[in-house]
Structure 1
């Protein structure tokens, strides 16, 4: 027969501790191989094993693999020369990965680097110890037929079959792997591919084997290798994803086919699977036979009818390309010719899908629109498009030509940002355009879902109408054209049967959702779009289910889906609440984070204008009335008690709705939600007073509100969710409502039926399933329910400790309702006391205890600090809360973002770490000044120790300095504000004294810092409270009669204070850790309160010397940005480099990095520079006390 048949297996994961389960599955595979031969005539000509033979690259794993391969060859009757293997990332022995290998892998940033590494014998020798056990296995088991070493890292093995010369290309996609799929930066390398293809030249059939799919490769490597292999190989086989895949790609110059084998053994959630492939050259027909393992009835292998719905008999036929058919072929056999065609034209199917997206996203939720107006015009809705206002993030924008993160391969970061202008924040749409994979963070009602709905609406509208108008709405920031939007509500996915932690599960949910809207025929079109690229995948509400198992299943499914559908033209946008994203291990690998910022005054005004213009369009107000209402609300909303609320898009929407309906606005958010709930219950009141009768007359609005509060609490408790409103079943509603209706289940059903049409606070989302208009309503109502419970304080404390993410917002609502609506401040304060332990802070307290203590501070702010301190029995409690929050910061408890939130709360409560009467300097014996002893230290960098070093940091050399003092923290907002208010100094940019007290002051020029230093020098010299020896040094000097002064440190003083004597790379040591500093990878995106990173302290105890803000020094850099005039070695006696009178055209040195910058710029030796007049939100300073006096 003129055929070739192969068995493709992958991902065996052999390990000794799982031997029994492995044997159970693989023994059945051997039986299935023999049965396929006897029953179906499938006798393989060869066997392909595409990597991950073992689980950890261990010698014992390969012993097991060798024994199985012996049995497999016996079952097939093949010799070893017909078994082909390639390594995967699990074939890497992580214990043997050298530091040199890590440096090589992490240093890859372009195709030339990859090719240079592969070409370098030295680099290959550095990389290959990790393959020690794989290499021994291959060399021992296969012998000389298939050598594997640092020279023979790939192979090409020809063999004749069916009259054809077949070449097998064994490619090593794990050559750069470190063994950890989450950390790996993978590549084949153009050189490896070209060498292998050159050796395979002349073959009739080329089959490439590799472990990793193209989507796992670095983008530039994929660009180089994928097209080449698809053009010059007939089949590309891989594994890694643990999921079967068939992808035929036919273009004018390529007929490649990509086949993925599932995991042959993985004792976890993935089904075990393998593939058989038969090519019939006479008929021009190929067939893929899909097999999977079933654990039923003792276990057996069977047809895989699960992976592809239209491959219902487990086999997939396809046509061979012209190059692969026999030249004398005269006819083809009958039978199936492939996947069933779509029932309709793909363009029509897509149009139907897009119209569904538009319908889903174009309108505001009815629950936040005045129900009385909606009764008058039931068919009209308020469109989202004219009301939408652009949102900003807390990240800083990087304009064209700028590179403040220091991403360049060589040279220094570009510094066009030195221009004298204010920094610009990054818009949410800009962020989504910038990041191919992004997590958008924000609090409740911050606009996350509205933003993704608007983006999906504009993209769908443009693909439908193709006029350019919808893309124009997105503006020039969106540079990716009209991508196909695929929007998934993860809360709904988590609640269903498909949530199994896999990419397939998420895909099946998507297809099921399409079918529910009669869009099932769109499945093959959508699949093709994902494979070809050009889809924006929107995954809304990552934290929708904190039931631990299902929550992690959602997390894993999102990661898996983004890995499977990783085409570089696909983009991913995930939304999540900020505090819920901080759980250990919860962050999505390779997803960049951006946090939504509150609305500013301009955006608030634009929203109000758009709202009332839409009201006028709908005919609900006249143009003259609309104009008057716009002016009135824009003025009213600037009240000091309302402006903080208006920055939240949901609360702004509700305030605007209330203003339209009632002509007034409440004073705070508790009253706001109370009025909003009552607004939504207006329909109920109107029904009772009108002609409708029955159950409506038996339940008052107050009773209904109380019942809904209990419904909200019960649903919230059962949901165990952190985002999105809960689903409430009709049975749950009836069980609560019947208590208001004399226990009648039938009347409760009538009441539910009435609510469905009229109440407004519950929306029917599916037959018999209801939900609240927004999760914040659910949380408010659940909090209202708790507020009237007799054990409220202890109960809320218990719930918070049990599940912080679930109950945090509910607790704050309960306190707000108790304190401000029910005027029971003392009970609300009892809740704060219950949340904060009564004893002294304990370092061994659990994270749950620390989180509850942190929340107690927020509770005090929710009540009002002045109100609580007026209660005699709670004055000591306020001090206790401050003490716990201070300990949380100083001991480095919880995750960095949580510490930042705690630090912000402590700043508003009054941070005991600082003394207001001492110019807000630190409350220690030395006012925060840390002594740095005289003596030598190592300055600069040694590239052997620190390959990230820049040339201007060289050479590393000893420098001897006199003793001096330096600030433990950077200068804070409160400290600088004290200077401004006391001295009358006129700041040119007032923003730098408007922030929270304990954040480092920013937006300061070098001249601003000098003015502060001079002022503080005078104040400490004259103030009676200045401690010794500071007072003596400032007034008399150190015995030479030359008084010391408060001044900026030199860059040498700064560096010694940061790193000490030993030349360490970072203040704490050589290894980077996001828990030790506020920089890019920490994901905070803004300054943090002083001292939030105690683990990042330097050897002398100075904090925040890496990240947070750049810190000015008094040292000169020079006139050229890229080349310092003042080079190393540093001479302390050369006062020219510290000349305080130098002109403003000469840049000064800054040190330490900032919150927006990458780790490379956080190193102690890194030198940055700005002209003295530059100000920005990234620049601050810390002071020193020194004998420096020369001003040349």
Structure 2
């Protein structure tokens, strides 16, 4: 999961439920597993001095050391492992150093040890093993044969509201355990009622609230400060200020002597180099007290100018202040001290980078940009420079990132992704236009895998697919869309590539791209969305794509009036089923809309033709004067895709050819083997363009067709394959079908305009 997505708390919740015996009721686990929860970084630290230490021996020794009152606990757990009765929970693979150790990185060594542990203890025995990691960097050395799942962002407003209600309920209980439940619930609802509108008001704050950690900080800030920041860096800044200034005072009503003596700025100046040192020298996030004292001595005397004679007492007071009064530091293991959450270590390390001169920043970027552990630090440093300090050096900083030269194939495109994420984080207003344009150009070239020598898509993939998808998502987040998004392609003027003869008896123009969330949003927000005329009289076509007598009558209108869940039917409008899903919905404007039924797709067509002259479609295609705009039929879609001969060809294949190589297919289309598990922004796959210049006809989303699949009633045809389907389903000849009232997360549509003969 992403930083702050809830990886650690999920493992703790699993451990707690198993410990209480609630595994069946809360987790669906009917085996009463014994939970064993450890930090991967603690194991990695011991591997540095004991490279042959097996994971099972470390687990048993760590448990015995932690629970000294139970001297035979290790023996008991070894027996439990042998019986397959343990749930081993390993937290934080991303906190392990990636620097080389004896020719192999420590990170890779840990992965090897975990895999061997799983082979011994989980293959022939029913033990379970769960390991958490941030996404960034994981796929460089993944665990084979493990099931991979990702913690989804919270969906606003429903899941955000549910989270806040639970958070405030716990907050009220902690503040006054004697309050009756009805009072606690009423107060929690009142607080959520005050906070939630502020979150939903601004898209930038709403985006922050999809992350559980950031949402918790938002609630914390709202309680203590009463205002909400709209940028991530401001969120961390206010949280750090609140921790340093207000935490102890809010708890006790007493002011802090050290804060009054040193001041907040000095405390931050001391904490920032400490965080940078810890992040660089101690990837596990902890160091012995003695090392903290030594490092503090150097900072206080050499950088802050304190007298060495008085430094010892100040160090003692400072560490006490950071641990017990601000809560920024916490004891994490016997004799080990670290920041209470990795995010604040990263934030303060970023403050240190932002405080340095340009040449020093450039060296830091060169040293760390390729390491996934430093990505958050680099992004937050950009926020500190651009938003908090409002420094003109942000332009040099972002330019330095985007122009970094990759050292190997795996790094291709990563500088553009890193610079793009920084730009999306801080907003374009704080940087020069030429810098923003430079970053966007590199993002487009990365997502389309453009060869810099030819300025054309690489015929064989060079940039890793996950990097391309990341670049496309950021390009979309920055509001970029294909310049020809609203264009139609006139198939009537296009010869059939297999016969070189015009074969379409009914000329038409088809949309160059599937309908995107941005385009569909116009319909949802229209005043005439619920006009009955838009929902009735849809044309009927049989399985051979021939027009049938009569039409669909009022079936679409009846479907619109049918009862729907509250999250779909709001204010008299049917919201697409996944409209608020952060992976598929309106937060990603340039991806194909999904979760719409066949009826909803047809109503959209009616609305577009009704308002044609007012819309971008009409302005972009002045030569088209549609009397009818609808879904394509099977035959029309096939023609736009280049035909079905040979049977196994894809839309991009030349006459007589059919792509077979899996890597080549993945370079052309978003299918399940791509591993992206989501729709991708239109315009990402230039190699996948059909011979008639129509985009995204293979993969990404299935497309509703106007005609029945079988007979003259029942299910409608779907074409094109999807992100969740196999590669073969993206071939032109592939078809599936579904009922007109159904909606799915991999089904969208494109539109067609009939032309005069």
Bin the TM-score by the shorter chain.
0.7 to 0.9
Q: Match of 2:708, SS?
A: strand
TM-score under structure 2 length normalisation: 0.76
Q: Determine whether 1:451 maps to 2:45.
A: no
In the alignment, the residues of structure 1 paired with residue 416 and residue 190 of structure 2 have an alpha-carbon distance, to the nearest angstrom, of 43
In the alignment, the residues of structure 1 paired with residue 255 and residue 709 of structure 2 have an alpha-carbon distance, to the nearest angstrom, of 83
- Name the residue aligned to 1:1082: 674
- Name the residue aligned to 1:887: 445
Contact 1:882 1:912 in 2 (8 A): no
- Name the residue aligned to 2:348: 781
Displacement after TM superposition at 1:523 (Å): 3.5
| CA pair 568-633 structure 1, distance change in 2 beyond 3 A | same
Q: Match of 1:496, SS?
A: helix
Displacement after TM superposition at 1:770 (Å): 1.2
| CA pair 1045-654 structure 1, distance change in 2 beyond 3 A | closer
Q: Match of 2:706, SS?
A: strand
In the alignment, the residues of structure 2 paired with residue 833 and residue 656 of structure 1 have an alpha-carbon distance, to the nearest angstrom, of 35
- Name the residue aligned to 1:513: 62
Q: Determine whether 1:1179 maps to 2:728.
A: no
Report which stretch shifted further, 628-637 or 928-937: 928-937
For 1:845-884, what aligned pairs fall within 5 Å after superposition?
848=411, 850-868=413-431, 874-884=432-442
Displacement after TM superposition at 1:582 (Å): 3.7
Q: Match of 1:1113, SS?
A: strand
For 1:646-665, what aligned pairs fall within 5 Å after superposition?
646-662=209-225, 665=228
For 1:601-750, what aligned pairs fall within 5 Å after superposition?
601-620=157-176, 623=179, 627-628=186-187, 630-639=189-198, 640-641=201-202, 642-662=205-225, 665-682=228-245, 699-719=262-282, 721=283, 725-727=285-287, 729-730=291-292, 731-739=294-302, 740=304, 741-744=306-309, 746-747=312-313, 749-750=315-316
- Name the residue aligned to 2:134: 577
Q: Determine whether 1:1169 maps to 2:745.
A: no
CA deviations over 1:337-385 (Å, ceiling 9, x no partner)? xxxxxxxxxxxxxxxxxxxxxxxxxxxxxxxxxxxxxxxxxxxxxxxxx
Contact 1:812 1:859 in 2 (8 A): yes
In the alignment, the residues of structure 2 paired with residue 1048 and residue 690 of structure 1 have an alpha-carbon distance, to the nearest angstrom, of 71
In the alignment, the residues of structure 1 paired with residue 492 and residue 617 of structure 2 have an alpha-carbon distance, to the nearest angstrom, of 17
Displacement after TM superposition at 1:775 (Å): 0.7
Displacement after TM superposition at 1:1096 (Å): 4.9
In the alignment, the residues of structure 1 paired with residue 436 and residue 10 of structure 2 have an alpha-carbon distance, to the nearest angstrom, of 39
Q: Determine whether 1:542 maps to 2:126.
A: no
CA deviations over 1:919-956 (Å, ceiling 9, x no partner)? x426xxx669897632659xxxxxxxxxxxxxxxxxxx
Match of 2:495 among 910, 927, 933: 933
In the alignment, the residues of structure 2 paired with residue 768 and residue 843 of structure 1 have an alpha-carbon distance, to the nearest angstrom, of 40
Long gaps (5+) in structure 2: 450-460, 531-572, 580-584, 654-658
Q: Determine whether 1:1070 maps to 2:626.
A: no
- Name the residue aligned to 2:486: 921
TM-score under structure 1 length normalisation: 0.50
- Name the residue aligned to 1:900: 469
Report which stretch shifted further, 889-898 or 905-914: 889-898
In the alignment, the residues of structure 1 paired with residue 465 and residue 733 of structure 2 have an alpha-carbon distance, to the nearest angstrom, of 24
Q: Which of the pair is proportionally richer in strand? A: 1
- Name the residue aligned to 2:515: 971
CA deviations over 1:558-584 (Å, ceiling 9, x no partner)? 22222222136233322221232343x
In our comparison, the structure showing a higher alpha carbon Rg is: 1
- Name the residue aligned to 2:724: 1156
Contact 1:493 1:499 in 2 (8 A): no
In the alignment, the residues of structure 2 paired with residue 867 and residue 753 of structure 1 have an alpha-carbon distance, to the nearest angstrom, of 36
| CA pair 618-856 structure 1, distance change in 2 beyond 3 A | closer
| CA pair 539-618 structure 1, distance change in 2 beyond 3 A | closer
Displacement after TM superposition at 1:1166 (Å): 2.8
Q: Match of 1:1175, SS?
A: coil
Long gaps (5+) in structure 1: 1-441, 463-468, 869-873, 938-958, 1037-1042, 1119-1124, 1126-1141
In the alignment, the residues of structure 2 paired with residue 672 and residue 1024 of structure 1 have an alpha-carbon distance, to the nearest angstrom, of 38
- Name the residue aligned to 2:80: 529
Q: Determine whether 1:988 maps to 2:541.
A: no
CA deviations over 1:125-150 (Å, ceiling 9, x no partner)? xxxxxxxxxxxxxxxxxxxxxxxxxx
- Name the residue aligned to 1:588: 144
- Name the residue aligned to 1:770: 337
Match of 1:1001 among 583, 593, 610: 593
- Name the residue aligned to 1:139: none
- Name the residue aligned to 1:491: 41
In the alignment, the residues of structure 2 paired with residue 821 and residue 556 of structure 1 have an alpha-carbon distance, to the nearest angstrom, of 42
Considering only aligned residues, what root-mean-square deviation do their CA atoms show, in Å? 4.2
In the alignment, the residues of structure 2 paired with residue 667 and residue 562 of structure 1 have an alpha-carbon distance, to the nearest angstrom, of 44
| CA pair 655-458 structure 1, distance change in 2 beyond 3 A | same
Contact 1:613 1:626 in 2 (8 A): yes
Q: Match of 2:133, SS?
A: strand
| CA pair 1035-635 structure 1, distance change in 2 beyond 3 A | closer
Q: Match of 1:487, SS?
A: strand
- Name the residue aligned to 1:472: 25
Displacement after TM superposition at 1:805 (Å): 1.4
Displacement after TM superposition at 1:494 (Å): 1.8
- Name the residue aligned to 2:375: 808
Displacement after TM superposition at 1:889 (Å): 1.5
Displacement after TM superposition at 1:1148 (Å): 0.8
In the alignment, the residues of structure 2 paired with residue 562 and residue 1095 of structure 1 have an alpha-carbon distance, to the nearest angstrom, of 41
Displacement after TM superposition at 1:716 (Å): 1.5
Contact 1:797 1:834 in 2 (8 A): no
Displacement after TM superposition at 1:787 (Å): 1.9
Q: Match of 2:94, SS?
A: coil
In the alignment, the residues of structure 2 paired with residue 487 and residue 562 of structure 1 have an alpha-carbon distance, to the nearest angstrom, of 15
Contact 2:60 2:77 in 1 (8 A): no
In the alignment, the residues of structure 2 paired with residue 568 and residue 1166 of structure 1 have an alpha-carbon distance, to the nearest angstrom, of 42
